[in-house]
Chain A
Amino acid sequence: MNLQTAISFRSVGKYFGQNQVLNDISIEIPNGSIVAVLGSSGSGKSTLVRCINRLENFENGEIKVGDVSLKPDGVRRHDRQLNDAQIAKYRTGIGMVFQSFNLFQHMNVIKNLIEAPIGVLGWNRQKALIRARQLLTQVGLSEKEEAYPNQLSGGQQQRVAIARSLMMEPDIMLFDEPTSSLDPELTAEVLNVIKSLALHGRTSLIVTHEIGFARDVASHVIVLDQGRLTEFDLAEKVFNNPRSERTKRFFESAGI
C-alpha cells in the first residue's frame, strides 16, 4: 500500500448465511478521492461501506485504512483482531452518515453534536459548543439548537447528522444512502450540504442512487453487481465508457 492510498480492500468476501454479499473485492482508494458507490439494490453497496468502519464483520480478505488492518473476526471473543476500545478509537477517524439519520432522540440538536467530542475525544464543553455552533450555522440550522430530532424535518435531521459526524474531524466520511428516505426537495438541501461542507479534502465514499449527484461530485466510481466489483475507476472513465454491459444498462435505466 503506498502513501497515496487511504483505504484498500484485498480480496474481501462477506456472507449473510449462505448468501455471498461481497465477492472477492479488491480496491485501492486514493487519498482525498470522492468515491460514488453505485449498483442496484442488494448489490452489496451498503455492506461494502459498513465493513470499513467495522459495523459489519467479513469472512475473507483484509481491509487496510491508514495503519490499521482489519481482518475477519473469529466467532469467539478472544478471536477478535481489535478489542472494543481499539475499534472505538479507530472509528473516531471515520465519519458516517446513515439513511435513517439516527440522531439520538433523547438529546436536542446541540447535545447530539457535542456528546461524542466531549465524551470520546475529551474536548472541553466550551470548545465543543463553539465548534457545534459553527457547524450548525454552516448547515443552516443555527436557530434549531434546542430542537429535538422529532421536531425536525428529515432534511434537517440529516443535516444535523452530517454536522454531528463532522464534529469528530474525521479523515474519512462514509455516506450510506444519505438521501434515500427524503423527498426530492429535501434531497437537494442535503446534497448541497454534503457537497459544500462534508467532502472537503476528505476521502469519502457515498452510497447513492442519485446518479446525477455522483456524476457531479465523484472523482471515482465503484459499481457493484450482486456482490462483485464490476467497475472501479476514475468517474469520467466509468460514466463515459463503462467496461461491462451490465453497467451500461444500469446507467441507461438511470437516464445517463
Chain B
Amino acid sequence: MQRTLSILYEFCDSLLFGLGITISLAVLSMVLALIVGLLAALGAISKNKLIRLPTIFYIEFCRNTPILVQLVWVHYAWPEIFGLKFTAFYSSLVALTLQTSGYLAEEYRGGIEAVDKGQVEAAKSLGMTHWRLMGRIVLPQAIMRAIPGLLNQFVTCIKSTSIVSVIAVPDLMYQAGLIVSATFLTMPIYTLVAIIYFVVVFAISRTVRWLTRRLPTNGYFSGTN
C-alpha cells in the first residue's frame, strides 16, 4: 500500500498532464463543434437541395459511425483520401469534432424547429428577409432553447475523448496505460483513472443540471421549461 501510494505520487504529474490533454481535447472539439454543428443545422434546413442533401448526409454520417472508427479513419485514411496528414492530437480533434458536431446539429435543429412558426410569419409580415429573421428571431431563441442539450453533449464529448489513446494521444487514459506497463499496478491505476473521470464528468454534469434549472423563464429563455 505504502509502495503503491508513493508510485502514484511519483506519476501524479503525468496523470495531471494527461487530464489536461483530455480536457483540452474536449473543450476545443466542443467549441469547434458548436460552430460546425450550427452551420450543419442551417444547411440541413436549407431550401436549396445542393446544400441540404450533403449536409444531412454529413450529420447522419457523423452520428451513425462509431467514434473509434472515425478516429482511425481520420488518422490513417485521410492522408490517402484527402492528402491531409495530422498529428495524433489533431486527428483526435477532427474526429471528436465530427462526432460531436453531428449531435449538436440535431440539438440546434430541434431548437430551430421548436420556435413557433407564427413568429416567423410575423417577422415576414414586417418585411424581414429570410436571413434577417433567422438571425434576429429564430436563432436567438433556438440556441437558448438548445442550451441544455448542447451542455449534455459536452459531457458525452468528455467521455468520448478516452478513445484517443488508441492512436497514442497522451491523454489521461494513455498515461494510465504507460504507468501500468511500467509498474504493473493495473488495479490501482485504472481504478484511480475511473475515479478521476467520474469526479470530473459528474461535477460537470451536475453543473449543467444546476445551470439548466436556473435559466430564467423570460426573454431569451422563455419556453425552455
Contacts and interface: CB of A to CB of B under 8 A. Distances in A.
Given A102-B121, A104-B119, A105-B119, A119 B218 contact: no
A85 interface: yes
A102 B119 contact: yes
- Could you say which interface size class chain A belongs to? 35 or more
B222 A88 contact: no
A190 interface: no
A148 B68 CA distance: 47
Interface stretch (B123-131, B146-154, B199-207): B123-131
Contacts of B118: 98, 100-102
A103 B141 CA distance: 13
Interface in A58-92: 77, 84-85, 88-89, 91-92
A102 B219 CA distance: 14
B101 to A, nearest CB: 25
B126 A92 contact: yes
Interface string A160-196: 0100110010000010000000000000000000000
B220 interface: yes
Contact of A84 (B121, B125, B129, B222): B129
B140 A106 contact: yes
B126 to A, nearest CB: 4
B116 interface: yes
Contact of A106 (B127, B130, B141): B141
A148 B121 contact: no
A120 B219 contact: no
B117 to A, nearest CB: 9
A151 interface: yes
A55 B126 contact: no
A110 interface: no
B132 interface: yes
B47 interface: yes
A106 B138 CA distance: 10
B48 interface: yes
Contacts of A107: 219
B125 A165 contact: yes
Interface string A37-60: 000000000000000010100000
A85 B127 CA distance: 9
Contacts of B137: 104, 106
Contacts of B144: 106
Contacts, number: 88
Contacts of A116: 123, 126-128
B223 interface: yes
A109 to B, nearest CB: 12
A108 interface: yes
A160 B91 CA distance: 53
A88 B121 contact: no
A115 interface: yes
Interface centre among A91, A104, A168 (most CB of B within 10 A): A104
Contact of B122 (A77, A92, A98, A108): A98
A102 B122 contact: yes
B136 interface: yes
Contacts of A229: none
A98 B116 CA distance: 13
A104 B48 CA distance: 27
A88, A108, A165, A174: residue with the most chain B Cβ atoms closer than 10 Å: A88
A105 B128 contact: no
B125 A150 contact: no
B60 to A, nearest CB: 25
A168 B123 CA distance: 12
25 contacts: A53-B124, A55-B121, A84-B130, A88-B127, A88-B129, A91-B126, A92-B126, A96-B121, A98-B122, A101-B118, A102-B121, A103-B119, A104-B119, A104-B122, A105-B119, A105-B141, A106-B144, A106-B219, A120-B127, A120-B132, A151-B218, A165-B125, A168-B126, A168-B127, A174-B125
Interface of B: 47-48, 116, 118-119, 121-130, 132, 136-137, 140-141, 144, 217-220, 222-223
Given A96-B125, A104-B122, A108-B219, 15 more contacts: A84-B130, A88-B124, A98-B121, A101-B118, A102-B122, A103-B122, A104-B123, A106-B219, A115-B126, A116-B127, A116-B128, A120-B127, A120-B128, A149-B222, A161-B122
